[in-house]
């Protein structure tokens, strides 16, 4: 594991602060000062300011993220983060992110390896959302979304989405759909529906891989069982 991530998961600091500590020469690996933030460490002895650092036990949390909370640890004035909902979030980070207005299933952990496997597109870990959009969506537009659409990202670069699985739940003044994707591009679902002329009014993630949000109340969280963690690893 990269040294900066190792320090983050050990609860020393955020990853950005960890990089600063390393570059300042305050971190040693097996007794030698290490300034390379990408240095791989495993069983080596890591110290910060002479104090030995030990990785914490692996923790796995399932949260029903409420609206109005962000998933970043770089907190701004007046901003609420998902970490405020935990009694101790040192070393814990979210597996991917949900934007401020999106609710639902969020996994948090200090297991970097599992986080990588759940977020990297090559593993095709499916995530399912319930989406309420403006207007009556038609079959042609649903097929466009299933086949993949394109849109401009924040850098005005053209982004093409992979095929999605979509099931229409309700069509009226507004439409409700179940959408399953395995990518995790920034604000992807919102931009997908904007591309076909149906802005998202409400977005909730209800499933990730084999995990379902179930009856967990919004703003609540629980630890995953060992069986659930094992299933995630196999997935």
Distances from the Cα of 86 to the Cα of 58, 61, 93, 209, angstroms? 16, 10, 11, 23
Which one of the listed residues 84, 99, 153, 230 is annotated catalytic? Answer: 99
User: How far apart, in whole angstroms, are the C-alpha atoms of residue 227 and residue 124?
Assistant: 21
Calpha distance 202→129 (Å, rounded): 10
3-state helix, strand, coil in the chain (%, to 5): 25, 30, 45
Helix (H) or strand (E) segment spanning residue 63 = strand 60-65
Active site residue 42: no
Indicate the SS3 state at residue 103: strand
Q: Which of 10, 11, 61, 1 is nearest to 232 (CA)?
A: 61
Rg (CA), the chain: 20
Helix (H) or strand (E) holding 175, with range, is: strand 174-181
d(CA 200, CA 193) in angstroms, rounded, equals 7
- Positions annotated as catalytic residues are 99
């Amino acid at each position: 594991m990269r040294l900066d991530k190792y320090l983050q998961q050990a609860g020393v600091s955020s990853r950005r602060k960890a990089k600063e500590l390393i570059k300042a020469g305050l971190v040693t690996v097996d007794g030698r000062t290490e300034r390379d933030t990408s240095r791989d460490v495993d069983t080596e002895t890591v110290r910060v300011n002479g104090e030995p650092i030990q990785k914490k036990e692996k923790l796995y949390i399932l949260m029903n993220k409420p609206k109005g909370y962000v998933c970043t640890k770089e907190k701004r004035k007046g901003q609420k983060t998902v970490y405020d909902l935990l009694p101790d979030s040192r070393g814990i980070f979210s597996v991917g992110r949900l934007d401020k207005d999106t609710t639902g299933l969020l996994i948090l952990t200090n297991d970097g390896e599992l986080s990588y496997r759940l977020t990297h597109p090559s593993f095709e870990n499916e995530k399912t959302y319930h989406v309420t959009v403006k207007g009556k969506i038609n079959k042609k537009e649903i097929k466009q979304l299933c086949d993949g659409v394109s849109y401009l990202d924040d850098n005005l670069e053209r982004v093409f989405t992979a095929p999605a699985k979509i099931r229409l739940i309700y069509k009226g003044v507004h439409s409700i759909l179940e959408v399953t994707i395995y990518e995790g591009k920034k604000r992807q679902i919102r931009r997908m529906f904007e591309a076909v002329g149906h802005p998202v009014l409400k977005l909730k993630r209800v499933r990730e891989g084999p995990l379902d949000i179930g009856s967990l109340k919004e703003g609540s969280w629980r630890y995953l069982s060992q069986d659930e963690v094992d299933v995630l690893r196999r997935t």
